[in-house]
A = this chain, B = another copy of it.
Amino acid sequence: MDQSTGGKSHRVLNYVETSIRVRYADTDTMGVVYYGTYPIYFEVGRAEYMRSKGFPYKKFEETGFHLVVVHLEAKYYNTAAYDDLLTVRTSIAELKSRGLIFHYEIFRDGVLIVEGKTKHICTNSDKKTVVIPASLFETLKDVKPR
């Protein structure tokens, strides 16, 4: 069991894909997308994941809760360049009562560029770690218990 998110976990099987066009601002002097740009693409991926489930992250925050990032990981397999049209495939790798892990794969024309994960805990308006509100949990849980 993963101690940091705690509790019984589910494995989500589906994913959501989002397109991102690489901007000049995203690149660096090596002529490729800067390694620190990908966490921004991950953010876009999870935002669109939640939107597609009918629960935009903004709406979630308006209830006073946040999904705070506690861990980030990225593996770089290939480079992307200016104006590339990338696909971010986002899924939930783990869903627990107090946190979750988003998983990302970024492709260009079917070629894997970067793979990553972000682990989040749920906090309330007092910045305390809390159980994910049922409304969000049920939305994200279109899953099978493992």
Instruction: Give the interface of A toward B (CB within 8 A).
Output: 21, 23-25, 27-32, 34-37, 39-40, 43-44, 47, 56-58, 61, 66, 68-76, 81-83, 118
Contact = CB atoms under 8 A, between A and B. Distances in A.
A47 B36 CA distance: 15
A76 B83 contact: no
A23 B38 CA distance: 13
29 contacts: A21-B44, A23-B40, A23-B43, A23-B44, A23-B47, A24-B28, A24-B43, A24-B47, A25-B28, A25-B36, A29-B31, A29-B82, A30-B66, A36-B36, A36-B37, A36-B43, A39-B39, A57-B83, A58-B83, A69-B76, A70-B76, A71-B73, A71-B75, A72-B72, A72-B73, A72-B74, A72-B76, A73-B73, A73-B74
Closest 3 CB pairs of A and B: A36-B39, A58-B83, A27-B29
Given A35-B69, A71-B75, A72-B73, 14 more contacts: A21-B44, A23-B40, A24-B34, A25-B34, A27-B29, A28-B28, A29-B29, A29-B31, A31-B31, A35-B39, A35-B72, A36-B36, A36-B39, A71-B74
A17 to B, nearest CB: 15
B70 A75 contact: yes
A31 B82 CA distance: 13
